[in-house]
Structure 1
Amino acid sequence: MGQKTFSIIILAAGLSKRLGEAKQLLQLNGQSLIQKAANIAISVSPKDVVIVLGHYADQVEKELEGLNVSTAINIHYKQGMGSSIKYGLQSALGLCNNLDGVLIMVCDQPFLSSKHLFDLLSKWQNSDTSIVASQYNAGLGVPAIFDQKLFPELLELKGDKGGKKVILNHITNTVSVSFEDGKTDIDTLEEYQKIKETYKKSP
Protein backbone atom coordinates (compact mmCIF):
# COMPACT_ATOMS: atom_id res chain seq x y z
CA MET A 1 0.00 0.00 0.00
CA GLY A 2 1.39 3.43 -0.97
CA GLN A 3 1.64 6.44 1.29
CA LYS A 4 -1.72 8.01 2.04
CA THR A 5 -2.13 11.65 1.02
CA PHE A 6 -3.16 14.28 3.54
CA SER A 7 -3.40 18.00 4.21
CA ILE A 8 -2.95 19.80 7.51
CA ILE A 9 -5.65 22.24 8.60
CA ILE A 10 -4.78 24.76 11.33
CA LEU A 11 -7.79 26.36 13.03
CA ALA A 12 -6.93 29.99 13.81
CA ALA A 13 -10.20 31.88 13.37
CA GLY A 14 -11.41 32.08 16.96
CA LEU A 15 -12.55 35.10 18.93
CA SER A 16 -10.19 34.58 21.92
CA LYS A 17 -13.06 35.84 24.11
CA ARG A 18 -11.53 34.98 27.47
CA LEU A 19 -8.14 36.36 26.51
CA GLY A 20 -9.38 39.75 25.31
CA GLU A 21 -6.84 39.91 22.45
CA ALA A 22 -5.87 37.74 19.49
CA LYS A 23 -4.20 34.62 20.90
CA GLN A 24 -2.88 33.84 17.40
CA LEU A 25 -0.55 36.87 17.74
CA LEU A 26 0.80 36.13 21.24
CA GLN A 27 4.60 35.78 21.25
CA LEU A 28 6.61 32.89 22.66
CA ASN A 29 10.38 32.92 22.19
CA GLY A 30 10.19 35.55 19.43
CA GLN A 31 7.51 33.76 17.41
CA SER A 32 3.78 34.32 17.38
CA LEU A 33 1.63 31.29 18.16
CA ILE A 34 0.36 31.19 14.57
CA GLN A 35 3.90 31.29 13.16
CA LYS A 36 4.95 28.50 15.53
CA ALA A 37 1.98 26.31 14.53
CA ALA A 38 2.52 27.03 10.82
CA ASN A 39 6.22 26.16 10.99
CA ILE A 40 5.52 22.89 12.79
CA ALA A 41 2.91 21.97 10.17
CA ILE A 42 5.22 22.89 7.27
CA SER A 43 8.01 20.76 8.75
CA VAL A 44 5.66 17.78 8.55
CA SER A 45 3.84 18.56 5.30
CA PRO A 46 5.76 21.17 3.28
CA LYS A 47 3.16 21.64 0.53
CA ASP A 48 -0.29 21.10 1.98
CA VAL A 49 -1.04 23.39 4.93
CA VAL A 50 -4.32 25.33 5.10
CA ILE A 51 -4.81 27.91 7.85
CA VAL A 52 -8.36 29.01 8.62
CA LEU A 53 -8.56 32.67 9.61
CA GLY A 54 -11.46 34.74 10.90
CA HIS A 55 -11.13 37.16 13.81
CA TYR A 56 -8.16 39.53 13.28
CA ALA A 57 -7.65 37.85 9.87
CA ASP A 58 -5.60 40.74 8.42
CA GLN A 59 -3.11 40.86 11.29
CA VAL A 60 -2.80 37.07 11.47
CA GLU A 61 -2.25 36.83 7.71
CA LYS A 62 0.67 39.27 8.02
CA GLU A 63 2.34 36.81 10.42
CA LEU A 64 2.26 34.19 7.65
CA GLU A 65 4.02 36.23 4.97
CA GLY A 66 6.76 34.22 3.29
CA LEU A 67 5.49 30.90 4.63
CA ASN A 68 4.32 28.20 2.22
CA VAL A 69 0.73 27.98 3.45
CA SER A 70 -2.73 28.59 2.03
CA THR A 71 -5.31 30.59 3.95
CA ALA A 72 -9.09 30.25 4.06
CA ILE A 73 -11.18 33.04 5.52
CA ASN A 74 -14.13 31.83 7.58
CA ILE A 75 -16.64 34.66 7.37
CA HIS A 76 -18.83 32.76 9.84
CA TYR A 77 -16.08 32.37 12.46
CA LYS A 78 -18.39 33.67 15.22
CA GLN A 79 -20.43 30.48 14.80
CA GLY A 80 -17.58 28.44 16.27
CA MET A 81 -15.07 25.74 15.48
CA GLY A 82 -17.39 23.57 13.40
CA SER A 83 -17.66 26.25 10.72
CA SER A 84 -13.85 26.64 10.64
CA ILE A 85 -13.34 22.90 10.11
CA LYS A 86 -15.83 23.05 7.25
CA TYR A 87 -14.06 26.02 5.59
CA GLY A 88 -10.67 24.43 6.09
CA LEU A 89 -11.69 21.10 4.61
CA GLN A 90 -13.41 22.74 1.63
CA SER A 91 -10.24 24.71 0.99
CA ALA A 92 -7.98 21.65 1.34
CA LEU A 93 -10.16 19.67 -1.08
CA GLY A 94 -10.08 22.58 -3.51
CA LEU A 95 -6.28 22.35 -3.55
CA CYS A 96 -6.16 18.54 -3.72
CA ASN A 97 -9.36 16.61 -4.40
CA ASN A 98 -8.01 13.10 -3.76
CA LEU A 99 -7.00 13.40 -0.12
CA ASP A 100 -6.99 10.24 1.98
CA GLY A 101 -7.27 12.24 5.18
CA VAL A 102 -6.73 15.55 6.99
CA LEU A 103 -4.78 16.38 10.12
CA ILE A 104 -6.63 19.05 12.13
CA MET A 105 -4.73 21.12 14.70
CA VAL A 106 -5.06 24.39 16.61
CA CYS A 107 -2.53 27.15 17.22
CA ASP A 108 -2.78 27.47 21.01
CA GLN A 109 -1.09 24.25 22.19
CA PRO A 110 2.33 25.76 22.94
CA PHE A 111 4.06 22.44 23.61
CA LEU A 112 3.08 20.81 20.34
CA SER A 113 6.04 19.47 18.35
CA SER A 114 6.54 18.14 14.86
CA LYS A 115 7.50 14.81 16.49
CA HIS A 116 3.97 14.40 17.84
CA LEU A 117 2.46 15.07 14.40
CA PHE A 118 4.86 12.55 12.84
CA ASP A 119 3.80 10.00 15.50
CA LEU A 120 0.11 10.54 14.63
CA LEU A 121 0.83 10.22 10.93
CA SER A 122 2.92 7.10 11.35
CA LYS A 123 0.08 5.39 13.20
CA TRP A 124 -2.42 6.48 10.55
CA GLN A 125 -0.25 5.48 7.59
CA ASN A 126 0.15 1.98 9.04
CA SER A 127 -3.45 1.26 9.97
CA ASP A 128 -6.93 1.34 8.48
CA THR A 129 -8.46 3.20 11.41
CA SER A 130 -10.83 6.13 10.78
CA ILE A 131 -9.26 8.51 13.31
CA VAL A 132 -5.92 8.90 15.05
CA ALA A 133 -6.35 11.35 17.94
CA SER A 134 -4.17 12.86 20.65
CA GLN A 135 -4.76 11.62 24.20
CA TYR A 136 -4.56 14.01 27.15
CA ASN A 137 -6.59 14.82 30.25
CA ALA A 138 -7.99 11.26 30.08
CA GLY A 139 -9.74 12.18 26.84
CA LEU A 140 -9.13 12.45 23.11
CA GLY A 141 -8.73 15.60 21.04
CA VAL A 142 -6.69 17.48 18.46
CA PRO A 143 -4.30 17.29 16.82
CA ALA A 144 -6.16 14.44 15.14
CA ILE A 145 -6.25 12.80 11.73
CA PHE A 146 -9.58 12.05 10.09
CA ASP A 147 -9.91 9.58 7.23
CA GLN A 148 -11.59 10.71 4.02
CA LYS A 149 -14.67 8.58 4.77
CA LEU A 150 -15.43 11.07 7.56
CA PHE A 151 -15.21 14.15 5.31
CA PRO A 152 -19.02 14.33 4.81
CA GLU A 153 -19.48 14.35 8.58
CA LEU A 154 -16.81 17.03 9.07
CA LEU A 155 -18.50 19.18 6.42
CA GLU A 156 -21.79 18.91 8.33
CA LEU A 157 -20.37 20.29 11.60
CA LYS A 158 -22.17 23.32 12.94
CA GLY A 159 -21.63 25.84 15.70
CA ASP A 160 -19.07 25.03 18.35
CA LYS A 161 -19.10 21.30 17.67
CA GLY A 162 -15.56 20.51 16.56
CA GLY A 163 -13.49 17.44 15.85
CA LYS A 164 -14.18 16.00 19.30
CA LYS A 165 -17.81 15.35 18.36
CA VAL A 166 -16.71 13.29 15.33
CA ILE A 167 -14.14 11.42 17.46
CA LEU A 168 -16.86 10.48 19.97
CA ASN A 169 -19.14 9.33 17.14
CA HIS A 170 -16.42 6.91 15.94
CA ILE A 171 -14.69 6.07 19.19
CA THR A 172 -14.56 2.33 18.38
CA ASN A 173 -12.60 3.08 15.21
CA THR A 174 -10.23 5.59 16.82
CA VAL A 175 -6.68 4.98 17.99
CA SER A 176 -4.68 7.40 20.10
CA VAL A 177 -1.18 8.75 20.62
CA SER A 178 -0.31 10.10 24.06
CA PHE A 179 0.21 13.90 24.20
CA GLU A 180 -0.10 14.91 27.86
CA ASP A 181 1.25 18.40 27.08
CA GLY A 182 -1.82 18.85 24.89
CA LYS A 183 -3.83 19.69 27.99
CA THR A 184 -1.94 23.00 28.15
CA ASP A 185 -3.52 25.63 25.96
CA ILE A 186 -3.85 29.38 26.19
CA ASP A 187 -7.27 30.82 26.97
CA THR A 188 -6.43 33.55 29.48
CA LEU A 189 -3.63 36.09 30.02
CA GLU A 190 -2.78 34.32 33.28
CA GLU A 191 -2.18 31.05 31.40
CA TYR A 192 -0.10 32.92 28.83
CA GLN A 193 2.13 34.49 31.53
CA LYS A 194 2.67 31.07 33.17
CA ILE A 195 3.61 29.48 29.86
CA LYS A 196 5.99 32.34 29.05
CA GLU A 197 7.81 31.64 32.31
CA THR A 198 8.02 27.91 31.50
CA TYR A 199 9.44 28.75 28.09
CA LYS A 200 12.13 30.96 29.65
CA LYS A 201 13.24 28.14 31.93
CA SER A 202 13.31 25.43 29.26
CA PRO A 203 16.68 24.75 27.57
Structure 2
Amino acid sequence: MEINGIILVAGLSSRMGDFKPLLKLDGKTMIEHSVDSMLYSGVNQVIIVLGYRGEEVEVLLRSKYNKSQLVFTHNLKYSKTDMLASAKIGINALNTCDAFYLLPGDMPAVDTKTFLKVKETMVKSNAMVVFPTIDGHRKHPPLVSHRCIDYILQFEGEGGLREVWQFFKNKIETVPVDDYGCMIDADTKADYEKLVNYMDSKRNYKV
Protein backbone atom coordinates (compact mmCIF):
# COMPACT_ATOMS: atom_id res chain seq x y z
CA MET A 1 0.00 0.00 0.00
CA GLU A 2 1.08 3.53 -0.78
CA ILE A 3 0.39 5.46 2.42
CA ASN A 4 0.81 9.16 3.17
CA GLY A 5 0.12 11.11 6.32
CA ILE A 6 -1.61 14.36 7.28
CA ILE A 7 -0.68 16.20 10.47
CA LEU A 8 -2.99 19.01 11.59
CA VAL A 9 -1.06 21.87 13.19
CA ALA A 10 -3.31 24.85 12.53
CA GLY A 11 -4.71 25.48 16.03
CA LEU A 12 -4.19 28.45 18.32
CA SER A 13 -2.89 26.44 21.33
CA SER A 14 -5.17 28.67 23.42
CA ARG A 15 -5.72 26.24 26.31
CA MET A 16 -2.01 25.51 26.62
CA GLY A 17 -0.96 29.13 27.02
CA ASP A 18 2.12 28.35 24.95
CA PHE A 19 2.67 27.33 21.32
CA LYS A 20 2.33 23.54 21.35
CA PRO A 21 4.15 22.52 18.16
CA LEU A 22 7.43 24.06 19.33
CA LEU A 23 7.34 22.81 22.93
CA LYS A 24 10.25 20.52 23.70
CA LEU A 25 9.89 16.80 24.46
CA ASP A 26 12.93 14.59 24.95
CA GLY A 27 15.24 16.93 23.03
CA LYS A 28 12.94 17.62 20.07
CA THR A 29 9.92 19.78 19.43
CA MET A 30 6.48 18.22 19.64
CA ILE A 31 5.89 18.62 15.91
CA GLU A 32 9.17 16.82 15.12
CA HIS A 33 8.05 13.85 17.22
CA SER A 34 4.72 13.81 15.37
CA VAL A 35 6.45 13.87 11.98
CA ASP A 36 8.95 11.23 13.06
CA SER A 37 6.20 8.90 14.26
CA MET A 38 4.72 8.89 10.76
CA LEU A 39 8.00 8.60 8.89
CA TYR A 40 9.16 5.73 11.11
CA SER A 41 5.92 3.90 10.26
CA GLY A 42 6.81 3.97 6.58
CA VAL A 43 4.65 6.72 5.07
CA ASN A 44 5.87 8.11 1.77
CA GLN A 45 5.12 11.75 2.50
CA VAL A 46 3.68 13.84 5.31
CA ILE A 47 1.35 16.77 4.66
CA ILE A 48 1.64 19.46 7.35
CA VAL A 49 -1.44 21.69 7.64
CA LEU A 50 -0.31 24.93 9.24
CA GLY A 51 -2.17 27.91 10.63
CA TYR A 52 -1.25 29.98 13.68
CA ARG A 53 2.50 30.77 13.61
CA GLY A 54 2.74 28.46 10.64
CA GLU A 55 5.83 30.10 9.16
CA GLU A 56 7.85 29.30 12.31
CA VAL A 57 6.87 25.65 12.13
CA GLU A 58 7.62 25.46 8.42
CA VAL A 59 11.07 27.03 8.81
CA LEU A 60 11.94 24.58 11.58
CA LEU A 61 10.77 21.51 9.70
CA ARG A 62 12.41 22.52 6.43
CA SER A 63 15.72 22.70 8.32
CA LYS A 64 15.28 19.19 9.78
CA TYR A 65 13.87 17.03 6.99
CA ASN A 66 14.47 16.17 3.36
CA LYS A 67 12.20 18.38 1.23
CA SER A 68 10.72 15.33 -0.50
CA GLN A 69 9.38 14.01 2.82
CA LEU A 70 7.14 16.94 3.70
CA VAL A 71 4.51 19.06 1.97
CA PHE A 72 3.34 22.28 3.63
CA THR A 73 -0.09 23.79 3.23
CA HIS A 74 -1.94 26.46 5.19
CA ASN A 75 -5.40 26.92 6.69
CA LEU A 76 -5.67 30.68 6.39
CA LYS A 77 -8.95 30.65 8.34
CA TYR A 78 -7.47 28.67 11.25
CA SER A 79 -9.00 30.91 13.91
CA LYS A 80 -12.55 30.36 12.62
CA THR A 81 -12.57 26.78 11.37
CA ASP A 82 -12.47 23.28 12.84
CA MET A 83 -10.35 20.17 12.35
CA LEU A 84 -12.44 19.04 9.39
CA ALA A 85 -11.58 22.23 7.49
CA SER A 86 -7.87 21.60 8.08
CA ALA A 87 -8.28 17.94 7.11
CA LYS A 88 -9.84 18.96 3.79
CA ILE A 89 -6.92 21.29 3.09
CA GLY A 90 -4.51 18.47 3.86
CA ILE A 91 -6.40 16.03 1.65
CA ASN A 92 -6.31 18.49 -1.24
CA ALA A 93 -2.51 18.56 -0.92
CA LEU A 94 -2.11 14.75 -0.97
CA ASN A 95 -0.20 13.06 -3.71
CA THR A 96 -1.73 9.87 -5.10
CA CYS A 97 -1.91 7.19 -2.42
CA ASP A 98 -4.01 4.24 -1.31
CA ALA A 99 -4.68 5.65 2.16
CA PHE A 100 -3.54 8.29 4.61
CA TYR A 101 -3.12 8.62 8.37
CA LEU A 102 -4.76 11.62 10.02
CA LEU A 103 -3.03 12.87 13.17
CA PRO A 104 -3.49 15.98 15.33
CA GLY A 105 -0.13 17.69 15.79
CA ASP A 106 -0.40 17.59 19.58
CA MET A 107 -0.23 13.77 19.70
CA PRO A 108 3.51 13.17 19.37
CA ALA A 109 3.80 9.89 21.29
CA VAL A 110 1.91 7.38 19.11
CA ASP A 111 3.98 4.21 18.80
CA THR A 112 5.18 2.89 15.45
CA LYS A 113 3.51 -0.43 16.24
CA THR A 114 0.13 1.31 16.36
CA PHE A 115 0.53 2.76 12.87
CA LEU A 116 1.57 -0.65 11.55
CA LYS A 117 -1.29 -2.51 13.24
CA VAL A 118 -3.79 -0.08 11.74
CA LYS A 119 -2.24 -0.52 8.30
CA GLU A 120 -2.25 -4.31 8.62
CA THR A 121 -5.93 -4.25 9.53
CA MET A 122 -6.81 -2.18 6.48
CA VAL A 123 -4.85 -4.51 4.20
CA LYS A 124 -6.67 -7.55 5.59
CA SER A 125 -10.17 -6.06 5.77
CA ASN A 126 -10.27 -3.59 2.85
CA ALA A 127 -12.08 -1.22 5.25
CA MET A 128 -12.73 2.40 4.34
CA VAL A 129 -11.37 3.61 7.71
CA VAL A 130 -9.44 1.85 10.47
CA PHE A 131 -9.11 3.20 14.01
CA PRO A 132 -6.86 1.98 16.81
CA THR A 133 -8.85 1.37 19.98
CA ILE A 134 -8.10 1.28 23.70
CA ASP A 135 -10.72 -0.32 25.94
CA GLY A 136 -13.09 -0.26 22.98
CA HIS A 137 -12.78 3.51 22.41
CA ARG A 138 -11.56 4.85 19.06
CA LYS A 139 -8.28 6.76 19.17
CA HIS A 140 -5.99 8.58 16.75
CA PRO A 141 -4.62 8.11 14.20
CA PRO A 142 -7.23 6.65 11.85
CA LEU A 143 -6.06 5.31 8.52
CA VAL A 144 -8.40 6.56 5.79
CA SER A 145 -8.80 4.94 2.38
CA HIS A 146 -8.48 7.09 -0.73
CA ARG A 147 -12.05 5.94 -1.47
CA CYS A 148 -13.28 8.30 1.27
CA ILE A 149 -11.70 11.40 -0.20
CA ASP A 150 -14.55 12.62 -2.43
CA TYR A 151 -17.13 12.32 0.35
CA ILE A 152 -14.93 14.11 2.91
CA LEU A 153 -14.18 16.98 0.54
CA GLN A 154 -17.86 17.40 -0.38
CA PHE A 155 -19.18 17.15 3.19
CA GLU A 156 -20.70 20.46 4.34
CA GLY A 157 -22.87 19.33 7.24
CA GLU A 158 -22.62 19.88 10.98
CA GLY A 159 -20.63 17.69 13.33
CA GLY A 160 -17.20 17.79 11.74
CA LEU A 161 -15.14 14.65 11.37
CA ARG A 162 -17.31 12.71 13.83
CA GLU A 163 -20.24 13.07 11.46
CA VAL A 164 -18.07 12.15 8.47
CA TRP A 165 -17.13 8.87 10.16
CA GLN A 166 -20.81 8.15 10.73
CA PHE A 167 -21.32 7.94 6.97
CA PHE A 168 -18.74 5.13 6.81
CA LYS A 169 -19.85 3.40 10.02
CA ASN A 170 -20.55 0.06 8.32
CA LYS A 171 -17.17 0.13 6.60
CA ILE A 172 -15.02 1.02 9.62
CA GLU A 173 -12.74 -1.50 11.27
CA THR A 174 -10.94 -1.18 14.59
CA VAL A 175 -7.86 -2.80 16.06
CA PRO A 176 -7.04 -2.91 19.80
CA VAL A 177 -3.65 -1.47 20.72
CA ASP A 178 -1.64 -1.17 23.90
CA ASP A 179 -0.33 2.35 23.36
CA TYR A 180 -0.70 5.10 25.94
CA GLY A 181 0.54 7.50 23.25
CA CYS A 182 -2.88 7.21 21.59
CA MET A 183 -4.52 8.57 24.71
CA ILE A 184 -2.48 11.66 25.53
CA ASP A 185 -2.50 14.91 23.63
CA ALA A 186 -1.32 18.31 24.84
CA ASP A 187 -4.33 20.54 25.32
CA THR A 188 -3.20 21.89 28.71
CA LYS A 189 -0.03 22.32 30.76
CA ALA A 190 -1.04 19.28 32.83
CA ASP A 191 -1.32 17.23 29.62
CA TYR A 192 2.10 18.46 28.56
CA GLU A 193 3.63 17.36 31.86
CA LYS A 194 2.10 13.90 31.35
CA LEU A 195 3.65 13.77 27.88
CA VAL A 196 7.06 14.80 29.21
CA ASN A 197 6.93 12.10 31.86
CA TYR A 198 5.72 9.47 29.40
CA MET A 199 8.42 10.25 26.84
CA ASP A 200 11.04 10.17 29.60
CA SER A 201 9.78 6.78 30.78
CA LYS A 202 9.85 5.39 27.21
CA ARG A 203 13.44 6.56 26.75
CA ASN A 204 14.54 5.10 30.08
CA TYR A 205 12.82 1.81 29.26
CA LYS A 206 14.72 1.54 25.98
CA VAL A 207 18.00 2.24 27.77
Q: Does 1:36 align with 2:5?
A: no
Say whether the 8 Å CA contact 1:82–1:160 is kept in structure 2. Answer: no
Q: How many residues matched?
A: 196
CA distance in structure 1 between the aligned counterparts of 2:141 and 2:158, rounded to whole angstroms = 17
Q: Write the deviation string for residues 11-55 of structure 1: whole angstroms up to 9, x where unpaired.
A: 111111211222111111011111001111112235321111111
Equivalent in the alignment of 1:169:
167
Q: The residue matched to 2:109 in structure 1 has which SS?
A: coil
Q: What code does the residue aligned with 2:73 have?
A: A
CA distance in structure 1 between the aligned counterparts of 2:131 and 2:43, rounded to whole angstroms = 21
Equivalent in the alignment of 1:197:
197
- Normalising by structure 2, we get a TM-score of 0.84
Q: The residue matched to 2:122 in structure 1 has which SS?
A: helix
Q: Does 1:90 align with 2:87?
A: no
Say whether the 8 Å CA contact 1:141–1:164 is kept in structure 2. Answer: no
Percent identity of paired positions between Structure 1 and Structure 2 = 23
1:24-103 residue pairs with structure 2 within 5 A? 24-65=21-62, 66-67=64-65, 68-78=69-79, 79-92=81-94, 95-96=95-96, 99-103=97-101
Q: The residue matched to 2:93 in structure 1 has which SS?
A: helix
CA distance in structure 2 between the aligned counterparts of 1:15 and 1:159, rounded to whole angstroms = 24
Q: What code does the residue aligned with 1:184 have?
A: I
Equivalent in the alignment of 1:183:
183
Say whether the 8 Å CA contact 1:80–1:160 is kept in structure 2. Answer: no
Deviation of 1:157 after TM superposition, in Å, equals 4.6
**Runs of 5+ consecutive residues of structure 2 not aligned to the other structure:** none
Deviation of 1:113 after TM superposition, in Å, equals 1.4
Equivalent in the alignment of 1:6:
3
CA distance in structure 2 between the aligned counterparts of 1:84 and 1:158, rounded to whole angstroms = 13
- Normalising by structure 1, we get a TM-score of 0.86
Deviation of 1:140 after TM superposition, in Å, equals 1.7
Q: The residue matched to 1:194 in structure 2 has which SS?
A: helix
- Alignment RMSD (CA, Å): 2.2
Say whether the 8 Å CA contact 2:139–2:183 is kept in structure 1. Answer: no
Deviation of 1:80 after TM superposition, in Å, equals 1.3
**Runs of 5+ consecutive residues of structure 1 not aligned to the other structure:** none
Equivalent in the alignment of 1:16:
13
CA distance in structure 2 between the aligned counterparts of 1:141 and 1:163, rounded to whole angstroms = 13
CA distance in structure 2 between the aligned counterparts of 1:103 and 1:88, rounded to whole angstroms = 11
Q: The residue matched to 1:187 in structure 2 has which SS?
A: coil
Q: What code does the residue aligned with 2:17 have?
A: G
Q: Which of these residues, 155, 170, 173, is aligned with residue 153 of structure 2?
A: 155
Q: Write the deviation string for residues 59-87 of structure 1: whole angstroms up to 9, x where unpaired.
A: 11122123121111111222111111000
Equivalent in the alignment of 2:127:
129
